[in-house]
Amino acid sequence: MKKRKFWYGFLEAGSKSSPVVIDRNMETGDKNTVFIYNHNKGEILKYVRELAEPKLRELTAQEKELEAPLKKGFKNSLNTIKYKVPKALVIPEKGTPSPKEDAVPEVIELEIKGLDDDDTDIGWDDGDD
């Protein structure tokens, strides 16, 4: 399989064979599983990677016309996905700035309840005793 964001292919599984789409940016959160849009079922399903990957193949030249309906079906299935999709972690390579380094830091104001105005000792030891 080529390394593109979307991969269009065919899942060869006997009577359950189907054109499929894999969005490489959709992670299941488990390295042993993969999300695959199954066009015959009209849904994104979670497959066991070691069982599904050997049954995947590229679309043939005659099947290339399936890409447009596959794109549309995949897009529609995103609205009805039955699984919680974890957000992908973006970990920059060593030495490259993270996307948020240039951003203005977020300021969070916390209110601590239960302290009187004159009670400044909250039980922290700064080691200067």
Range scoring the smallest mean pLDDT among 15-19, 62-66, 122-126? 122-126
Rounded CA separation 62/81 (Å): 29
Q: For 57-66, what is the mean pLDDT?
A: 93
Q: Which residue has the tokens 């240039």?
A: 102
Global pTM?
Answer: 0.62
Average pLDDT, the chain: 77
Residue 5 has pLDDT above 80, yes or no: yes
Question: Who's near 82: CB < 8 A, 6+ residues apart?
Answer: 43, 44
Rounded CA separation 91/39 (Å): 32
Residue 122 exposed, middle or buried by CB count within 10 Å (0-12, 13-18, 19+): exposed
